[in-house]
Amino acid sequence: MDDDALAGTRVLVIGGNRDVAESLRAQLTAAGSPSVDLVPALDLVAAQTAAAQPQVVLSLGDTDPAAVRARLDPLGLDAAPPVVPVAELAGDGEALGAAGIARLRMLLEHRAMRVRLGELEAIVASQALSAFRDTEVIRVDTLERLARAAEYRDDNSPEHTQRVAALAARMARHMGQDDRMVSLIRHAAPLHDLGKIAIPDSILLKPGRLEPEEFEVVKTHAVLGARVLADGHSEVLGVAEQVARSHHERWDGDGYPDGLAGRDIPLPARLVAVADVFDVLVHERPYKEAWSVENAAEEIRGGAGRQFDPDVVAAFDGLGAGSWTAGFESS
Task: Kindly list the residues in this chain that would bind Fe ion in the complex (CB under 5 A).
Answer: 193, 276
Choose between 109 and 193: whose C-beta lies nearer to Fe ion. Answer: 193
- 294-297: long-range contacts at Cβ-Cβ below 8 A with a sequence spacing of 24 or more? 294/321, 297/321, 297/324
Shortest separation between residue 229's beta carbon and Fe ion, angstroms: 14
- 252-270 per-residue burial string, b: 16 or more CB within 10 A, e: under 16: eeebbbeebeeeebbbbbb
* Number of C-beta neighbours around residue 325 at 10 A: 13
Choose between 6 and 167: whose C-beta lies nearer to Fe ion. Answer: 167
Choose between 100 and 195: whose C-beta lies nearer to Fe ion. Answer: 195
CA dihedral sign, ordered 270, 275, 277, 278: positive
Shortest separation between residue 235's beta carbon and Fe ion, angstroms: 22
Choose between 20 and 293: whose C-beta lies nearer to Fe ion. Answer: 293
- What single string gives the DSSP state of each residue in 265-318? S-HHHHHHHHHHHHHHHHS-BTTBPPPPHHHHHHHHHHTBTTTB-HHHHHHHHH
Cα gap 324→292, rounded to integer Å: 12
Shortest separation between residue 192's beta carbon and Fe ion, angstroms: 6
Per DSSP, 42 falls in state G
* Number of C-beta neighbours around residue 163 at 10 A: 24
Shortest separation between residue 116's beta carbon and Fe ion, angstroms: 17
Shortest separation between residue 181's beta carbon and Fe ion, angstroms: 21
In residues, how long is the chain?
Answer: 331
Shortest separation between residue 51's beta carbon and Fe ion, angstroms: 42
Q: Which of 229, 233, 228 is nearest to 134 (CA)?
A: 233
Shortest separation between residue 164's beta carbon and Fe ion, angstroms: 6
Choose between 249 and 276: whose C-beta lies nearer to Fe ion. Answer: 276
Choose between 71 and 227: whose C-beta lies nearer to Fe ion. Answer: 227
Shortest separation between residue 189's beta carbon and Fe ion, angstroms: 9
Choose between 108 and 150: whose C-beta lies nearer to Fe ion. Answer: 150
Using only the alpha carbons of the chain, give its radius of gyration: 24
CB 14 within 8 A of CB 58: yes
- What single string gives the DSSP state of each residue in 116-160? HHHHHHHHIIIIIHHHHTS-HHHHHHHHHHHHHHHHHHSTT-TTH
Choose between 109 and 279: whose C-beta lies nearer to Fe ion. Answer: 279
